[in-house]
A and B are shown apart, each in its own frame.
Chain A
Amino acid sequence: MTHPLHTPLLIGAGNRWRRDDGVGAWLVERLGVRLGTAVETRLLSGEGAGLIDAWQGHATVWLFDAAAPSGRPGRVTRIAAHAQPVPAELCHHSTHRFGVGEAIEMARVLGQLPERLELVAVEGLDFGEGEGLSEVLERAAEMQLDELEALLRGAV
């Protein structure tokens, strides 16, 4: 049995009841089914303090989040966040909140980043109320699943 701390942790950040903001949860749920006990999964709001707490003790963390719209819905950005800074605007949460970007940079300063933290951000289109991704985003996310599964199997 693999020690839990060495099991990759997949975190889906966002709100699944705000359409494309739920793309992180959408991906994590499907990857969790494909990879079974080889990974741990958690769905979180994206609140920074909760994120830092969630990844404590995990050597490898994959964090999936929606990125703010900039005219290219479905565009996927992958950042090896353990090795390079995250642009704050990529996963903007709120001016009054402590969000994903701030959490990663704060954890870096505090020495609380996992050895490997992969951030996968998918640019959203529709952040209105309701469940389900927009068509363009679901298609884009679906296209990522095989590659992400392969990458994660390599990490397991």
Chain B
Amino acid sequence: MSRRTIAVDTLARVEGEGALDLVIRGDRVEKADFRIFEPPRFFEAFLRGRDFREAPDITARICGICPVAYLMGACHAMESICGVNVDGGLRELRRLLYCGEWIESHVLHMFMLHLPDFLGYEDSIAMAKEHGELVQRGLRMKKIGNALMTLTGGREIHPVNVKVGGFYRLPEKSELAAFVDDLAWGLEAAEQTVADLAKLDFPEFEHDYHFLALRHPDEYAITEGRLVSNKGVDVSIPEYDDILTEHHVAHSNSLQSEFLDGERAHLGPLARLAINSDRLTPRALKAAESVGLVGGSKNPFRSLLARAVETVFAFEESLRIVESWQRPDAPAVDVTPRAGTGSGCTEAPRGLCYHRYSLDDEGLITDAKIVAPTSVNQRIIESDLMHVAQANLDLDDEALKWRCEQAIRNYDPCISCSAHFLKLTIDRG
């Protein structure tokens, strides 16, 4: 039996530091370990003893690309404990901030990180030499997402304007209205992107996933809803711990999360489309229909297209909000701390992000639990890699490595969030 070992020192275009070990014996893939060696970051530990109002700003530092997911999860959990409901113009503004994050994160991932895989380039800079117009479109779209975050969140990275109960400062209605032209352009650009990406060759691979996402009765869920799956799960957010569990594995510094029965959950844009296609905004639904993504897809490589459809949604929803927003009288509602336990769960660009906190009667945090989406998706990434590698054993080592990296990037993994580079080793002993 021949033995081949392929080592890639760093897998680029993912966030954080980790490695992948593939063990292949003969014509069978025996093991795929997604090994995260970036040290644990202990956010949950150092939240204990802090004032409940500090949680959003502290947890936002978990990630530079999806800080809003952490801001919102923490805010919702604290508001739940304190019996506060943030609605009306404040809720709409939070949704706009989140749309900004979806736009900038999805566009970054599509154009800069994942698309080079499909077009056969080492990175986006090499890709830009022959696809300059496409890249310039992506940069302009991303800039609009960044600007939305700056307006509503105070700055584009680690926003500082969100607080438990609402915001520190509200923008003027005219500041939102100034976005109309850019958002209208972005919406058309996103639709064009869906059409362009649909022409790509997607590797043939399908799996019967257990998709899990938030579902809201009236809208494409981002910040609120029930936890719903395509295989019968339908529970409230406080019941999260009744369906998903975390455990430590020897090969990863990130806890891995899965359903209580050991089944692997799939989070993110394909899951959201599987659960919520009927809640898409009109033009986003039309975009999904045009590429056969209504109801999602079993092919994880089509997550690239799913992100494009969700980018259409995010622009369309942002446009609706800026055109209809009514400025509230106050930037936040008053929040008085009380003892209790509460949870918040929102849809980060790469999937569900869960927070649960306990407070004492002075509002000090006594317990905290945060589950980043990559903690959950790690298990499905490992599963996909087993299957993708198995189905492509005829490829030479370089081509197999390329395909495996592409498969990992289907999930836009944020390793820093979950543990918090990836070294790929293929052992064909």
Contact = CB atoms under 8 A, between A and B. Distances in A.
B139 to A, nearest CB: 5
B6 to A, nearest CB: 21
A106 interface: yes
Given A45-B156, A49-B142, A95 B15 contact: yes
B392 interface: no
Interface in A92-118: 94-98, 102, 105-106, 109-111
Contacts of B142: 49, 98
A47 B155 CA distance: 11
Given A45-B155, A49-B146, A95 B421 contact: yes
B123 to A, nearest CB: 8
A152 interface: no
Nearest to B105: A96
Interface in A43-58: 45, 47, 49-50, 52-53
A50 B148 CA distance: 13
Pick the most buried of B13, B132, B135, B139: most chain A CB atoms within 10 A of its CB: B139
Interface in B100-120: 108, 112-113
A98 B143 contact: no
Given A49-B142, A50-B143, A96-B14, A109 B129 contact: yes
A110 B132 contact: yes
A95 B12 contact: yes
Question: What is the size category of the interface that chain B forms with chain A?
Answer: 20 to 34
Nearest to B111: A98
B233 interface: no
A68 B304 CA distance: 32
A94 B64 contact: yes
Interface in A66-124: 94-98, 102, 105-106, 109-111
A74 B18 CA distance: 31
B372 interface: no
A53 B147 CA distance: 12
Interface in B119-142: 124-125, 128-129, 132, 135-136, 139, 142
B414 interface: yes
Contacts of B269: none
Given A95-B12, A102-B125, A105-B125, A47 B146 contact: yes
B57 to A, nearest CB: 11
Nearest to A48: B139
B135 A106 contact: yes
A49 B64 contact: no
B197 interface: no
Contacts of A97: 64-65, 108, 157
Contacts of A95: 12-16, 421
Contact of A96 (B64, B125, B156): B64
A109 B132 contact: yes
A49 B108 CA distance: 10
A102 B15 CA distance: 15
B128 A109 contact: yes
Given A50-B143, A50-B146, A50-B156, A106 B128 contact: yes
A110 B143 contact: no
A47 B157 contact: yes
B288 to A, nearest CB: 26
A96 B414 contact: yes
B114 to A, nearest CB: 12
Given A47-B157, A102-B125, A96 B132 contact: no
B146 A110 contact: no
A110 B136 contact: yes
Contact of A47 (B13, B128, B156, B416): B156
A69 B156 CA distance: 25
A102 B135 CA distance: 13
B15 A49 contact: no
A96 B146 contact: no
A110 to B, nearest CB: 5
B12 A106 contact: no
Contacts of A45: 155-157
Contacts of A106: 124-125, 128, 135, 139
B129 A98 contact: no
A24 to B, nearest CB: 15
A131 to B, nearest CB: 14
Given A106-B128, A110-B132, A110-B136, 15 more contacts: A47-B146, A47-B156, A49-B139, A50-B156, A53-B139, A53-B143, A94-B65, A96-B108, A97-B65, A97-B157, A102-B124, A106-B125, A106-B139, A109-B125, A109-B128
The 8 closest A-B CB pairs, nearest first, are: A96-B15, A109-B128, A49-B142, A49-B139, A96-B65, A49-B143, A105-B125, A95-B15
